[in-house]
Chains A and B, each alone.
Chain A
Amino acid sequence: MSVEQEQRTLRCLVAKVGLDGHDRGAHVISRALRDAGFEVIYSGLHRAPEEIVQATVQEDVDVLGISILSGAHDTLIPQILEGLAEYGALEDTLVVLGGIIPDEDRAPLKSEGVAEIFGPGASMNEMIEFIRENAPER
C-alpha cells in the first residue's frame, strides 16, 4: 500500500458564459491561480451554460469561477447552478463569480448557491485565500 499522500492539487474551471467578449480578467485570474499551484481549466469565450455544466462535471473541479461582465448573470448563472444540481455536482463544487454584479443582485445569487462574488478591485490574494479555505472537502 502506498502511504504517500501529497497535498491535494485543487482543480479550478475558469469560465466565460454568454455573449461577453471580455476575457482579460479571466486570463489574469487563470494565470494567478496557476502560479498559486492550482490546475486551471479555461473554458474559452462565449460558452453556453450547459457547456459549463458539462465541463464542471467531467473535469470534476473543486472550484468553478465564472467571469461575467455582460449583465446577463440573473439569467445565466441560475441555469448553470440548476445544471450542476441535476448532476449532483452543486453540493461539492465551490462556485465563485467575478465581474460586474450590481449589489442588489448579489444576495439572490448567493442564496441560489454562489459562494462569493469578487467585483472590481478585489485582490488576487483575497480570492486565492477564499478558495483555499472554502474548497469543499471530498
Chain B
Amino acid sequence: MSQRHLVEDLLDGDHRALARVITNIEDRRPGYRDLVAELHQDTGEADVIGVTGSPGSGKSTLVDKLAATYRDRGLTVGVIAIDPSSPFTGGAVLGDRIRMASNIGDMDVFFRSMSARGTLGGISTATAGAVRALDAFGKDRILVETVGAGQNEIDIVKTADTVTVLVPPGSGDDVQMLKAGILEIGDVFVVNKADLPGSDRTVQELQEMLHHGGGDVPDTVGHHGASDTVEAFDSTGDDRGGDADWDPVIVETVANEGEGVDELVEVFGEHADHLDSTGGRAANARTRYAAEIRRLLREDVNDLVAAELARQGGLDSFVERVLDRETNPYAVADELVDPIAECVEQRREH
C-alpha cells in the first residue's frame, strides 16, 4: 500500500488503511512523518479521554463498558490500549483486548493494542500519532488506556483532553493520597470495584486529598446514587493551563457490571463542555503542539548534528583528542555547530 493511497483510504473509512497507518507510525517507517503531517488537517474533532490507574484496577473493563455506552449513544469509538514491553527482549504480551467483550464484531469500535516499546511514563511515543490517525478517521471519542501505572506515570496528560484516574478500594492510607504524581493529574477520579469493602473509605480519602488542595469537597456521583454535592473546589498543581478552575469529580463504578458507567460518561461530557466554555481545550492544544514542535526540532537538529559528526570521523575521534588534552569538549561542540550556524546566518542574509 503506497503512502498516498493510505491517507486517502483512511479518510474514506478503510479500516485496514487506518491499521496500517498506525503501524507505520509505531514502527517509524520511512515516510511516517509525512503521513502524520498529511493527517493533521483532518484532526481536532475527537474528544480524547485518558484512563490510567494501577495494574488490575479495572482500566480495560471500564474502557470496554465506556466504548459500549458511547456506541449506544450513536458515537464511534477508537481505543488505544498500552501494555508494558520487556526491557530485556523488547517483547510484550498485550492482553487488554480480552476485556473487550461488549464490543464483539463491532467494527465501529477500533481497538488497537500497543506496546510501550521501552518508553516510561505510561504511554508510547507513537500514541499521539495513533490518536491523530483515529481522529482523522472520524472517531468521535478516543479512549487511551495507559500501562498499569504506579505513582508517577503521568504522560497521559500530554495526549488526553480529559484524564481519568482509577483508584481501587484499599489503595493505601491517606498518606498515599498525599503523594505527588498520578493523583495530581486527574480531572475525574473513578473508584472502581465500588462493591468491594473499603470503597467508602477510599472515596472519603480521595475527597480529603482533593480537599487539602484548598476549597471544598468535590462532587461524588456513583452507583449508590449518593451525591454529596458540595461546590467550588480549586484544583491546584495542574500545569495544563486550561482546567485550572475545574473541580475534579469522584465517580464510583462497578465496571464489570456496568454500574456507574452512564454517570461517568455524563461527567466526561461536563468536562468537555467545561473545556470548550473556558477555552481550556484550545489552551491544551497549544501546549501540546508547542511540545510537539520542540520535540521535532530537537530530533531534527540532533540528526543534523549527528550527520555532521559522522562526516567528520565520528564522536570517538573527538573523544580521543579531548583525552589527549589536544582540545576540550566545549571547543569540539563549537567546531561542530559553528559551520551549521554559519549556513543559517548566510541564508538569513539573502
**Which residues of A come within 8 Å of B, CB atoms?**
1-6, 8-9, 11, 30-31, 33-44, 48, 50-51, 54-55, 57-60, 87-89, 138
Name the CB-closest residue of B to A31. B93
Q: Is the CB of A34 within 8 A of B30?
A: no
Q: Is the CB of A4 within 8 A of B90?
A: no
Q: Is the CB of A8 within 8 A of B27?
A: yes
**Cα distance, A3 to B29, chains bound together (Å):** 10
Q: Is the CB of B28 within 8 A of A58?
A: no
Residues from chain B with a CB closer than 8 A to the CB of A88 are 16
Majority DSSP secondary structure for residues of B touching A: mixed
Residue of B28, B91, B113, B303 touching A35 (CB-CB under 8 A): B91
8 Å CB interface, B299-322 against A: 299-300, 303, 307
Q: A4-B28, A54-B105 are in contact. Are A34 and B19 (CB under 8 A)?
A: no
Q: A2-B33, A58-B112 are in contact. Are A34 and B15 (CB under 8 A)?
A: no
The 10 tightest CB contacts between A and B, nearest first, are A44-B98, A60-B19, A34-B91, A60-B23, A37-B89, A37-B91, A41-B94, A39-B92, A40-B93, A39-B115
Residue of B22, B23, B89, B98 touching A43 (CB-CB under 8 A): B98
Q: How far is the CB of B209 from chain A (nearest CB, A)?
A: 36
Q: Is the CB of B28 within 8 A of A2?
A: yes
B97 part of interface (Cβ distance < 8 Å)? yes
Name the CB-closest residue of B to A62. B23
Q: Is the CB of B28 within 8 A of A34?
A: no
**Cα distance, A34 to B299, chains bound together (Å):** 30
Q: How far is the CB of A58 from chain B (nearest CB, A)?
A: 6
Q: How far is the CB of A84 from chain B (nearest CB, A)?
A: 10
Known: A36-B91, A39-B85. 18 other contacts (CB 8 A): A1-B300, A34-B89, A34-B93, A35-B86, A39-B115, A40-B93, A41-B93, A41-B113, A43-B97, A48-B105, A51-B104, A51-B105, A59-B19, A59-B97, A59-B113, A60-B19, A60-B20, A87-B16
Q: How far is the CB of B22 from chain A (nearest CB, A)?
A: 7
**Cα distance, A34 to B115, chains bound together (Å):** 11
Name the CB-closest residue of A to B23. A60
**Cα distance, A36 to B112, chains bound together (Å):** 22
**Cα distance, A54 to B254, chains bound together (Å):** 27
B265 part of interface (Cβ distance < 8 Å)? no
**Cα distance, A57 to B107, chains bound together (Å):** 10
**Cα distance, A39 to B92, chains bound together (Å):** 5
B268 part of interface (Cβ distance < 8 Å)? no
Interface centre among B22, B91, B93, B97 (most CB of A within 10 A): B91
Q: Is the CB of B107 within 8 A of A54?
A: yes
Q: Is the CB of A30 within 8 A of B93?
A: yes
**Cα distance, A39 to B96, chains bound together (Å):** 13
Q: Is the CB of B16 within 8 A of A89?
A: yes
Q: A2-B299, A54-B107, A57-B15 are in contact. Are A38 and B28 (CB under 8 A)?
A: no
A-contact 0/1 string along B1-37, CB 8 Å cutoff: 0000000000000011001101100011010010000
Residues from chain B with a CB closer than 8 A to the CB of A9 are 27, 90, 115, 117
Question: Can you give 27 contacting A-B residue pairs, CB < 8 Å?
Answer: A2-B33, A5-B28, A6-B27, A8-B27, A9-B27, A31-B93, A35-B91, A39-B92, A39-B115, A40-B91, A40-B93, A41-B93, A41-B97, A41-B113, A42-B93, A42-B97, A42-B98, A43-B97, A48-B104, A48-B105, A54-B107, A55-B111, A58-B15, A58-B111, A59-B97, A60-B16, A138-B23
